[in-house]
Amino acid sequence: MSFFRAEQSADLLKRGFTRRDLGRLATVITAGAALPFYNERALAQLSMVRDMPADAVKINANENPMGPCPEAAEAIHNVVRKGGRYMYEETFTLKDTLAQVCGVKREYVTPYAGSSDPLHRAVLSYCSKERPFVKADPGYEAGERAARFIGAKTVNVALRKGTWNHDVKAMLAAHPSPGIVYVCNPNNPTGTGISLTAVERIVRRAAHAVVLIDEAYYEFCGVTAMRNLLRSPNLFVSRTFSKVYGMAAMRMGCLFSQASNIAYLHKAQSPYSVNSLAALAAKEAVKDTGYVTHYVTEVLAARELLCYGLEKLGIPYTPSSANFVLGHFGARAIEIRDALRGRAILVRDRSYEIPGAVRITVGTREQTQRVLDELSRLW
Ligand code: PLP
């Protein structure tokens, strides 16, 4: 019996898929795993399952449209049938691999299910009614949820209007005894980054708080606080496999800090929360530095193309250090987002935080050109 209904198959074949593609896609969906099947058509097809056309351009979640590197996908494919067994050792050995790749001691790192998870747990562990969660506004939202749950206040410190840079001084002055000062570098949704000197200043001046630097987009800017871990007992750094490594659905991330902090937070983690298949894939992903370099180079080129195109169209944007760009569309933001959606291009409205702002993830150069072509018709 075929996996797809007859009319689904007919539709997919009409869209340029071969019968072999369909067989592979059926295996992907059935196995629930990433198989060596990561071309854009296939990924667009997966979106189509949720009512998107096959050639949809999904640039609303800062993902890597090419998915994981082939070795990572294959590593999962090769063991998925053994998935009935616990495979704890994959998490232990991933810890070794991450420590080696990042040049820190083994005790300084723990894998998590994504990087929102350690942020959530850190807020639960270090914030309280008396010790609030301090963050830039607008910024990545995940920590606020945990703060709300424990009745801790979130102190939102406005980014500097216009440049959307962090106001370091205001963040430091926001509260006399914060539980966590959270810095997303580069910041989501603005793409603006802060220098290592500014990070060091925060770490030094907020000595009695946890300073958590979220480096989800580190690979696009190269600024990292990782080398300060040894001398900074209050510093935590999080990284994710959801962005540059193309593994968002697999839920893999990690947290770095001094050994006693990592051991303390580990107690707040449920024992088997990290997916062993994702750990296996992550080990392969960090080894394939060529894949990451290639993707980052592509993003930087496509980002240039996007910014140049926006400039030519007279659409203001915020210069970005990440794989997304915030365009400023004024009163037409929602209209533009909806019109792009009607043309199967998904971008992310952020006008509820910054009036007129729409966040555009940098996809492939081809996708970028398509967005620009549509914008030139709409603007
Ligand atoms: N941190 C930042 C700054 C993000 O923008 C995102 C996702 O958009 C995340 C963390 C979430 O990453 P994960 O998928 O690892 O939970």
Band the pLDDT of 19: cuts 50, 70, 90: confident
* Dist. CA 266 → ligand 1 center (Å): 20
* Dist. CA 241 → ligand 1 center (Å): 9
CATH number at residue 203: 3.40.640.10
Report yes or no on 1 lying in a domain.
no
Q: Judge contact between 376 and 322, C-beta under 8 A.
A: no
279 and 307: one domain? no
Query: Can you tell me the distance from the alpha carbon of 37 to that of 70, in angstroms, rounded to the nearest whole number?
Result: 8
- % of the chain at pLDDT higher than 90: 81
Give, in degrees to the nearest 5, the angle at Cα 114 between 103 and 271. Answer: 90
Average of pLDDT values for 230-247?
97
* Dist. CA 95 → ligand 1 center (Å): 20
Report yes or no on 365 lying in a domain.
yes
168 and 34: one domain? no
Band the pLDDT of 49: cuts 50, 70, 90: very low
pLDDT score for 88 = 87
Report yes or no on 63 lying in a domain.
yes
* Residue among 39, 186, 212, 45 nearest 117 (CA): 212
Q: What is the DSSP letter of 302?
A: H
300 and 181: one domain? no
Q: Which residue has the CA at smallest separation from atom 1 of ligand 1?
A: 216
* Residue among 307, 223, 314, 253 nearest 121 (CA): 253
Q: Is 216 in the pocket of ligand 1 (CB under 6 A)?
A: yes
171 and 259: one domain? yes
Where among 267, 287, 307 does a domain terminate?
A: 287
105 and 195: one domain? yes
* Residue among 34, 28, 31 nearest 70 (CA): 34
Q: Is 116 in the pocket of ligand 1 (CB under 6 A)?
A: yes
Please identify, by atom number, the ligand 1 atom nearest to the C-alpha of residue 117.
16
CATH number at residue 53: 3.90.1150.10
Q: Is 254 in the pocket of ligand 1 (CB under 6 A)?
A: no
Q: Is 108 in the pocket of ligand 1 (CB under 6 A)?
A: no
Band the pLDDT of 48: cuts 50, 70, 90: very low
Report yes or no on 215 lying in a domain.
yes
Band the pLDDT of 42: cuts 50, 70, 90: very low
User: For 308-318, how does the pLDDT look when each residue is reduced to its tens digit (9 = 90+)?
Assistant: 999 999 999 99
213 and 261: one domain? yes
CA gyration radius for the chain?
Answer: 21
How many alpha carbons fall within 13 Å on the CB side of residue 8?
14
Report yes or no on 2 lying in a domain.
no
pLDDT value at 291 more than 90 = yes
Q: Is 323 in the pocket of ligand 1 (CB under 6 A)?
A: no
Please identify, by atom number, the ligand 1 atom nearest to the C-alpha of residue 252.
15
Average of pLDDT values for 339-352?
95
* Residue among 159, 170, 160, 165 nearest 137 (CA): 159
pLDDT score for 2 = 56
Band the pLDDT of 35: cuts 50, 70, 90: very low
* Dist. CA 115 → ligand 1 center (Å): 6
How many alpha carbons fall within 13 Å on the CB side of residue 199?
27
Band the pLDDT of 25: cuts 50, 70, 90: low
Please identify, by atom number, the ligand 1 atom nearest to the C-alpha of residue 253.
15
Cβ-proximal residues to 51 (8 Å cutoff; 6+ apart), any chain: none
Q: What is the mean pLDDT of the chain?
A: 90
pLDDT value at 136 more than 60 = yes
Q: Which residue has the CA at smallest separation from atom 12 of ligand 1?
A: 115
Band the pLDDT of 74: cuts 50, 70, 90: very high
Question: What's the burial of 198, exposed, middle or buried (CB within 10 Å: 0-12/13-18/19+)?
Answer: middle
Report yes or no on 59 lying in a domain.
yes
Please identify, by atom number, the ligand 1 atom nearest to the C-alpha of residue 61.
8
Average of pLDDT values for 368-374?
97
pLDDT score for 17 = 64
Q: 116, 214, 221, 348: which to mutate for ligand 1, most atoms within 8 A of CB?
A: 116
Least trusted range by pLDDT, from 27-41, 156-170, 234-248? 27-41
Give the Cβ contact number of residue 286 at 10 Å: 18
pLDDT value at 47 more than 70 = no
Contacts 24+ apart (CB under 8 A), 311-316: 313/372, 313/375, 313/376, 313/379, 314/379, 315/375, 315/379
- Give the distance from CA 275 to its chain's centroid: 18
In this structure, are strands 180-184 and 210-214 parallel, antiparallel, or unpaired?
parallel
In this structure, are strands 253-256 and 109-112 parallel, antiparallel, or unpaired?
antiparallel
Q: Is 193 in the pocket of ligand 1 (CB under 6 A)?
A: no
228 and 282: one domain? yes
* Domain span including residue 352: 13-69+290-378
pLDDT score for 313 = 98
In this structure, are strands 348-349 and 357-361 parallel, antiparallel, or unpaired?
antiparallel
Q: Which residue has the CA at smallest separation from atom 2 of ligand 1?
A: 216
Band the pLDDT of 33: cuts 50, 70, 90: very low
pLDDT score for 269 = 87
130 and 45: one domain? no
pLDDT score for 41 = 40
305 and 355: one domain? yes
Average of pLDDT values for 59-76?
95
Report yes or no on 8 lying in a domain.
no
Average of pLDDT values for 339-353?
95
* Dist. CA 216 → ligand 1 center (Å): 6
36 and 159: one domain? no
pLDDT score for 46 = 45
- Give the distance from CA 99 to its chain's centroid: 21
**Amino acid at the residue 78:** N
Band the pLDDT of 55: cuts 50, 70, 90: confident
Helices within the chain (DSSP H only):
6-14, 19-31, 40-48, 70-79, 89-102, 116-126, 142-149, 168-173, 196-205, 218-221, 259-266, 276-287, 289-313, 333-342, 365-378
Q: Is 238 in the pocket of ligand 1 (CB under 6 A)?
A: no
Where among 243, 262, 287 does a domain terminate?
A: 287
pLDDT score for 279 = 97
95 and 234: one domain? yes
188 and 233: one domain? yes
pLDDT score for 308 = 98
Widest CA span in the chain: 66
* Dist. CA 178 → ligand 1 center (Å): 22
pLDDT score for 29 = 44
3-state SS record for 337-374: HHHHHHCCEECEECCCCCCCEEEEECCCHHHHHHHHHH
User: For 162-189, how does the pLDDT look when each residue is reduced to its tens digit (9 = 90+)?
Assistant: 999 999 999 999 999 999 999 999 999 9
Selection from 4-13, 25-34, 65-74 with the highest mean pLDDT = 65-74
Question: What's the burial of 27, exposed, middle or buried (CB within 10 Å: 0-12/13-18/19+)?
Answer: middle
Where among 287, 319, 338 does a domain terminate?
A: 287
* Dist. CA 117 → ligand 1 center (Å): 9
Report yes or no on 4 lying in a domain.
no
* Dist. CA 96 → ligand 1 center (Å): 23
* Dist. CA 93 → ligand 1 center (Å): 24
Q: Report how many domains make up the chain.
A: 2
Q: Is 367 in the pocket of ligand 1 (CB under 6 A)?
A: no
Q: From residue 154, how far is each of 130, 157, 162, 187, 296 by CA, in Å?
A: 11, 9, 23, 17, 33
Confidence (pTM): 0.86
